[in-house]
């Protein structure tokens, strides 16, 4: 095999590489169809890729660029057809899969050409296939592990800018890595087979690293923005409950004044006065509940939420040892209980008056652990993504931070958060080691 001759990568190898790359980038995606239908699509797509590349292999060199563009379109279409992803996300994943396929196919053929040139014994067709299976298996296993690491946390909101950036990275890497095949005389053009393979593989690797680096940056920025939103939410909640506590003190004073005034009116004994007294008593009964848990902030939160529950036909019961919260800051107490109770209350949105609306809150110590359990009646199915609860509201940008805020606080104190639905009851449980 002379070094001056540039053997092309077998088209069937390219087809298999592109197919495997698509499978790797969608492995953690929610599938659009059933398992059987998805399997049929997988097999059909492999046949389509193979037929396309075999046809492209016999076309003149002038069709090379259009064929590569069509290959990317096929990969994007494959991703979109098999997963429940938006078109931008599908294109983003398809473009990413293309550069992955190019890199791995290039590495495999480069290594095979090197060894086949120096060790003719492995240049047979059987050895060629076995070599491809081994290299593809190792490299795509690495890519699978990489995708598991990312878990596509930032791909739910792929923007036009993200897609354009990915396309520019991939197009640039592809053109530079394949410029030698166009027989142009440039500073980046190689003259010998191994040199061309080396340039192609190295440039594809650089493109791959830039693309994944950009993805890692997107995830980091997304996480930072989410953390900032949670912090702002915590600050607002604390300010809100400080104002609520002041308002509650004023309401309690007014409540006691009204009780004395009602007693004086009732002493007058007139029928009209009695009716007025009954009306006033019914109106102020909402403010009759007073919590004394041993923690003033918790008392304020429970008071405000219980008033809302009474006004909206929700039965709210609470058994709480507020003194057990002594090692948790006031702001974190606001976040823990404010979000837990808000989520429970919001689960009743849209429910009719005839449906059961019950919330139970328990705060207690057990074997050196602080246990916070919040239960509410629940009819429906939890929506999760990557193990996280997903908000059922349409405006997911400004919602869905309740459980995340609770987890942030729990992790701050080395605690854990769990949730489950059983027998029509949603249970949120926070367990935190008590620090003296």
Percent of the chain residues topping a pLDDT of 90: 26
290 pLDDT above the threshold of 70: no
| Pairing state between β 388-389 and 384-385 | antiparallel
239 pLDDT above the threshold of 80: no
Range in 2-6, 116-120, 250-254, 301-305 with the lowest mean pLDDT? 2-6
In the sheet that 425-433 helps form, which strands lie side by side, from edge to edge?
Answer: 315-320, 358-366, 369-377, 425-433, 416-422
Which residues, in sequence order, are CB contacts of 187 under 8 Å at separation 6+?
A: none
8 pLDDT above the threshold of 60: yes
424 pLDDT above the threshold of 80: yes
Rounded to whole angstroms, the Cα distance separating 7 from 193 reads 8
| Pairing state between β 315-320 and 358-366 | parallel
Q: What is the pLDDT of residue 394?
A: 47
Confidence of residue 395 (pLDDT cuts 50, 70, 90): very low
1 pLDDT above the threshold of 50: no
Q: What is the pLDDT of residue 379?
A: 77
Q: What is the pLDDT of residue 187?
A: 52
Confidence of residue 433 (pLDDT cuts 50, 70, 90): very high
Which residues, in sequence order, are CB contacts of 26 under 8 Å at separation 6+?
A: 79, 82, 83, 93
Rounded to whole angstroms, the Cα distance separating 294 from 324 reads 8
Residues making up the chain, counted from first to last: 436
Rounded to whole angstroms, the Cα distance separating 26 from 44 reads 16
Q: What is the pLDDT of residue 266?
A: 63
Q: Which of 287, 286, 282 is nearest to 262 (CA)?
A: 282
What is the sign, positive or negative, of the torsion defined by CA atoms of 180, 185, 186, 191? positive
Task: Let me know: does 415 contact 432? Beta carbons within 8 Å.
Answer: yes
Q: Which of 237, 385, 376 is nearest to 318 (CA)?
A: 376
Q: What is the pLDDT of residue 2?
A: 43
Confidence of residue 149 (pLDDT cuts 50, 70, 90): confident
251 pLDDT above the threshold of 90: no
Q: What is the mean pLDDT of residues 41-58?
A: 92
- The 10 Å Cβ neighbour count of residue 58 is 8
And the tokens for 23?
């499978």
Q: What is the pLDDT of residue 49?
A: 94
Q: What's the pLDDT tens digit per position in 191-220?
A: 555 566 677 778 888 888 888 888 778 777
Q: What is the mean pLDDT of residues 67-81?
A: 92
320 pLDDT above the threshold of 90: yes
Q: What is the mean pLDDT of residues 275-293?
A: 65
Q: What is the mean pLDDT of residues 351-357?
A: 73
């Amino acid at each position: 095999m002379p070094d001056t001759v540039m053997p092309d990568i077998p088209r069937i190898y390219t087809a298999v590489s592109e197919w495997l790359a698509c499978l790797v980038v969608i492995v953690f995606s929610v599938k659009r169809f059933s398992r059987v239908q998805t399997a049929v699509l997988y097999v059909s797509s492999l046949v389509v890729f193979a037929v396309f590349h075999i046809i492209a292999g016999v076309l003149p060199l002038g069709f090379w660029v259009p064929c590569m563009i069509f290959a990317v379109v096929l990969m994007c279409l494959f991703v979109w057809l098999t997963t429940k992803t938006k078109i931008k996300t599908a294109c983003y994943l398809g473009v990413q899969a293309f550069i992955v396929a190019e890199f791995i196919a290039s590495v495999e053929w480069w290594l095979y050409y090197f060894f086949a040139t120096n060790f003719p014994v492995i240049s047979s067709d059987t050895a060629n296939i076995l070599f491809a299976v081994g290299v593809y298996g190792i490299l795509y296993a690495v890519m699978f592990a990489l995708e598991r690491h990312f878990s596509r946390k930032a791909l739910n909101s792929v923007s036009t800018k993200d897609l354009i950036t990915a396309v520019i990275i991939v197009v640039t890497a592809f053109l530079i890595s394949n410029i030698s095949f166009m027989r142009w005389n440039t500073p980046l053009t190689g003259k010998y087979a191994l040199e061309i393979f080396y340039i192609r593989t190295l440039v594809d690797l650089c493109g791959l690293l830039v693309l994944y680096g950009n993805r890692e940056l997107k995830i980091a920025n997304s996480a930072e923005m989410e953390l900032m939103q949670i912090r702002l939410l915590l600050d607002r909640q604390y300010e809100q409950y400080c104002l609520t506590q002041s308002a509650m003190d004023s309401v309690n004073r007014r409540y006691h004044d009204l009780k004395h005034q009602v007693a004086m009116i009732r002493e007058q004994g007139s029928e009209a006065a009695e009716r007025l007294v009954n009306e006033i008593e019914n109106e102020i009964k909402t403010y009759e509940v007073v919590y004394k848990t041993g923690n003033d902030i918790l008392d304020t939160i429970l008071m405000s939420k219980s008033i809302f529950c009474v006004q909206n036909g929700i039965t709210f019961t609470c058994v709480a040892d507020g003194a057990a919260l002594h090692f948790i800051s006031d702001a974190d107490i606001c976040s823990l209980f404010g979000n837990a109770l808000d989520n429970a209350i919001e689960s009743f949105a849209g429910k009719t008056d005839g449906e059961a609306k019950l919330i139970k809150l328990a705060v207690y110590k057990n074997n050196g652990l602080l246990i916070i359990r919040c239960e509410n009646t629940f009819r429906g199915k939890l929506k999760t993504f990557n193990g996280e609860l997903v908000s059922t509201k349409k405006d997911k940008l400004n919602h869905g931070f309740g459980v995340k805020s609770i987890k942030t606080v729990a992790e701050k104190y080395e605690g854990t958060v769990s949730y489950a639905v059983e027998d029509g009851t949603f249970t949120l449980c926070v367990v935190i080691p008590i620090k003296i």
